[in-house]
Amino acid sequence: MAYPSTTTAPPVDLQITGLGGLGDGVGRLADGQVVFVPGAVPGDHLQVQVVGKRQGVLRGQLLAIRQPSQDRVTPPCAAFGQCGGCDLQHLSDAARLRHHQQHLQRVVGAALAVDAVAVQAAGHRRRARLHVRQTQGSLVVGMLTARSDQVAQTEHCPALSAALEAVRQRAPAALQDFLYLGELSLVLGSAGVVAMLSGKVRSSPPTARELSARLGVVGLRYRLGQHADQWGEDDVALPEVDAPWVVRTQPDGFCQASEQANRALRSVVAAAVRDAGEFARAAEFYAGSGNFTDLLLRPGAQVVAFEQDEAACGQLARAARDAGWSDRLRIVQGDVAAQLSAAAGSEVWLLDPGRPGAPELCAAAGRLAPRDVIYVSCALDTLGRDARTLAGHGLVPVQATIIDGFAWTVHAEAVVRFARQ
Ligand SMILES: C[S@@+](CC[C@H](N)C(=O)[O-])C[C@H]1O[C@@H](n2cnc3c(N)ncnc32)[C@H](O)[C@@H]1O
């Protein structure tokens, strides 16, 4: 029987048994139909109003919590539910990690144990893209709300590191005499916060030096209409990467958002590289500015690194030069899928794609025949799809770790090593 998909249907009692990919609680009606309920967590017993059906699944609105889940907690942020930055603050840290672990377990299969690494949620973000909007004569600076182009208003953002939050707090007063709409990107390195600002001005901005002092940053670049200026540091080095390898990024470039999570990621990837055994040639795909590249650059090994971002390739080349390892590394700039022949002969692959995953690359694993594939993923659904492709080429998961790298959200980082059977 099709459930009436209108608000005229009577409310129902619903036991929430899982979490959907967007963080909604999931339960089943007595007739077996699945309902997604925003704001619900596994273990909740709720009264729910079914409000519609989208793409074949029912959507429910939470009317009342009859019995809260023992994993339900009070969100630490006043803007929770409004802000698009964190979507799982109402679930305990332990339950969130368990959820991610079970999700990865489904991807790699029950036969393989999945390790899990927790990350301190409060203040974990060392990188942020903040939005600047004018509301009722004053500026607000923060994350966008989940479903609009407006900025979520909160006195204190608990996800940002203390240094980034301090800049966010100073920003309205620093920007309000000349800016009415913009984007402020921040990244924290050992020397302090470096910023990048773009947007629309109503009058001439101060110099980058003056604005850096107002914001309390160690470097700032801006482009505001026809006004452009730069002062101080232009990039940061990641403190968790040891010399002689130095990984640099800019506020608008990529780096792992949490230093603690990246420390864990690097150590899990290092172990996977070690367990992959001896190799003379390796390929790294989606290399960025070299966050994992040093882990492959063993004496005697040749590495080819693929990355499309020109600035990141420049930073990677600089890291190799400064470490004296340029002769071991070849950088291929451009779309991974268009340059795959450069990976021929590589026994070990390391890849860290964005959310779309790496379908073309995994399809090419049949032809290029790597022995080990170490896959770092921030999107478990596309990892699952790519894992099935790799399995079709005889590459099966042998190690799997989940890292709670995007604390307070439905996202997590996974590292899976696939080996040829
Ligand atoms: C998730 S980041 C990982 C970067 C690096 N591994 C790190 O940990 O900092 C993904 C990287 O892939 C790059 N990228 C995305 N699509 C690409 C493509 N089709 N070809 C080459 N590089 C790509 C992005 O520029 C970005 O640097």
Q: Is residue 357 part of a domain?
A: yes
Q: How confident is the model at residue 389 (pLDDT cuts 50, 70, 90)?
A: very high
| Residues 260 and 352 occupy one common structural domain | yes
- Indicate whether 103 and 203 sit together in one domain: no
Q: Are residues 393 and 258 in the same domain?
A: yes
Judge if the beta carbon of residue 336 lies within 6 A of ligand 1: yes
Residue 116 has pLDDT above 90, yes or no: yes
Q: What pLDDT does 190 receive?
A: 87
The pick from 306, 307, 335 for probing ligand 1's pocket by mutation, whose C-beta has the most ligand atoms within 8 angstroms, reads 307
Report whether pLDDT(6) > 90: no
Q: Is the domain of 151 the same as that of 131?
A: yes
- Is 210 in the same domain as 303? no
Number of domains into which the chain is organized: 3
Whether ligand 1 lies within 6 angstroms of the CB of 312 is answered as yes
What pLDDT is recorded for position 27?
A: 96
Q: What is the pLDDT of residues 88-108, one digit of tens each?
A: 999 999 999 999 999 999 999
In the chain, what percentage of residues exceed pLDDT 70? 98
Integer Cα distance of 67 and 92 in angstroms: 16
| Together in a domain, 161 and 221 | yes
So what's the pLDDT on residue 7? 55
**From the CB of 315, is ligand 1 less than 6 Å away?**
no
Q: Whose CA is nearest to atom 14 of ligand 1?
A: 286
Ligand 1 atom closest to 284 (CA)? 6
Cα–ligand 1 centroid distance for 394 (angstroms): 26
Any domain includes 30: yes
pLDDT tens, position by position, 81-90: 888 889 999 9
Do residues 289 and 253 touch, judged by C-beta distance below 8 A?
yes
If pLDDT is split at 50, 70 and 90, which confidence band does 56 have?
confident
pLDDT at 39 over 50: yes
CATH number at residue 181: 2.40.50.1070
Take atom 1 of ligand 1 and give the residue whose Cα is closest: 354
Is 356 contained in some domain?
yes
Please check whether residue 362 lies inside any domain of the structure.
yes
In whole angstroms, how far apart are CA 11 and each of 42, 51, 54, 276, 317?
A: 19, 10, 18, 55, 61
Q: Which two tokens stand for residue 209?
A: 């030096």
pLDDT at 235 over 60: yes
Let me know: does 224 contact 216? Beta carbons within 8 Å: no
Is 60 part of any domain?
A: yes
In the reported structure, the alpha carbon of residue 286 is separated from the centroid of ligand 1 by a whole-number distance in angstroms of 4
Distance CA 356, CA 383 (A): 9
Same domain, 152 and 285: no
91 falls within a domain: no
140 lines ligand 1 (CB under 6 A): no
The reply to whether 219 and 265 lie within a common domain is no
d(CA 204, CA 317): 37
pLDDT above 90 covers what percent of the chain? 90
Residues 311 and 394 in one domain: yes
| 5, pLDDT greater than 70 | no
Residue 248 CA to residue 239 CA, distance in Å, equals: 10
**pLDDT for 147:** 78
307 Cβ below 6 A of ligand 1: yes
Does pLDDT of 168 surpass 50? yes
Same structural domain, 200 and 283: no
CATH number at residue 58: 2.40.50.140
User: What's the gap in Å between 255 CA and the centre of ligand 1?
Assistant: 10
CATH number for the domain that contains residue 281: 3.40.50.150
Domain that holds residue 319: 97-120+254-420
Residue 72 domain-assigned?
no
- The answer to the question of residue 78 being in a domain is no
Whether the predicted pLDDT of 112 surpasses 60: yes
Of 372, 379, 310, the C-alpha closest to 346 is: 372
Whether residues 346 and 276 share a domain: the answer is yes
- Asked if 397 and 417 touch (Cβ cutoff 8 Å), the reply is yes
Ligand 1 center–CA 81 separation, angstroms: 30
The predicted-structure confidence for 351-371, as pLDDT tens digits, reads as follows 999 999 999 999 999 999 999
Same structural domain for residues 364 and 380? yes
Q: Residue 160: pLDDT above 70?
A: yes
Burial profile 242-269: b = 16 or more Cβ within 10 angstroms, e = fewer = eeebbbbbbbebbbbbbbbbbbbbbbbb
The residue type of 143 is M
Taking only the tens place, the pLDDT of each residue in 255-313 is 999 999 999 999 999 999 999 999 999 999 999 999 999 999 999 999 999 999 999 99
Mean pLDDT of 112-119: 97
Mean of pLDDT over the chain: 95
